[in-house]
Structure 1
């Protein structure tokens, strides 16, 4: 794979905005993301600067990007740290120390080339490396209709937990929770 995976830097906010807007124009964006292209486009640059700066700090959030040899960003995934004492972000409140992968996107022209795998490897490795109480699991949600994404997550090693979240505005729509548990330490 000829793609360089790295954590986003604060000065890359315009590129982070651009790939988010591309992601929100994907044909499955309506079931993959919780915001629309129009909502994201309407946000001021200060929003994107702040969002990228927080992700660059890597304390509560970290965004990873895949960069092609020509410098173009071809994929992204973000990780949110969720601790039991901090309440709920999405779905149920954390009962264990965990991270939550969100905002996963790979440009259509590079899908199937290992970009998603590499992004997830960085996200998972970062999760396991966090200091403080050890992260016990990495979780994510996928729309029940997003079969392509669910297959990708299973291939990477995520398994369904059986928990679901209803989506506002559509009583029939469900997000399925998947997880990867921290591997046991070999001694």
Structure 2
């Protein structure tokens, strides 16, 4: 099946919501996302409208989706541009102008088809093509128990940076920072 990989628009907010809620029902959602289905489902329409519009304060944000010919969505990845000298998305000090990839999801029936790679290619191209800020590196975080996701990230060129962070809300677990080589 051929997919169109594209950035979402503000008008896409109902489908942004639907895909995110589907992602949060995935069996590995508890180690893949820092949000619960219940919390996301309780958000008002305005939340989803702002999310689709890329409203993240001063931060540049872009969500890419894989759209089927019938208009349905089969996957997504978001890019958050974190500025040096400002807190990153987790509120930690940030020393780089960098792209932070989040919200990675591909519907189960599309996994293993190359669709995730296409989404990552679009996200990475967007980050690298920015002139201001010029992104110095591209990173993501993966839960220590999400070995399937980490194997995919490694396959497409990401490697552990050596930095680990406690999982927000679960200090007994860690996330590894991976950077694109």
* TM more than 0.5: yes
In structure 2, distance between residues paired with 1:124 and 1:154: 15
Corresponding residue for 2:13? 13
In structure 2, distance between residues paired with 1:168 and 1:154: 24
C-alpha displacement of 1:167: 1.6
How many residue pairs were aligned?
A: 179
Corresponding residue for 1:37? 37
- Kindly report the root-mean-square deviation, in angstroms, between the aligned alpha carbons of the 2 structures: 1.6
Structure 2 unpaired stretches of 5+: none
Change (3 A) 1:40 1:116: same
In structure 1, distance between residues paired with 2:158 and 2:91: 17
Structure 1 unpaired stretches of 5+: 182-187
Corresponding residue for 1:143? 143
In structure 1, distance between residues paired with 2:169 and 2:4: 39
TM-score normalised by length of structure 1: 0.91
What are the residue-to-residue correspondences of 1:21-60 with 2, within 5 Å? 21-54=21-54, 60=60
Deviation by residue 1:132-152 (Cα, 9 ceiling, x = unmatched): 242111000000000110011
What are the residue-to-residue correspondences of 1:8-157 with 2, within 5 Å? 8-54=8-54, 60-90=60-90, 92-157=92-157
What are the residue-to-residue correspondences of 1:150-165 with 2, within 5 Å? 150-165=150-165
Contact 1:91–1:165 (CA under 8 A) maintained in structure 2: no
In structure 1, distance between residues paired with 2:76 and 2:88: 24
Change (3 A) 1:69 1:158: same
TM-score normalised by length of structure 2: 0.94
Deviation by residue 1:113-144 (Cα, 9 ceiling, x = unmatched): 11100000000000001122421110000000
Deviation by residue 1:127-183 (Cα, 9 ceiling, x = unmatched): 0011224211100000000011001100111111010110234332101000014xx
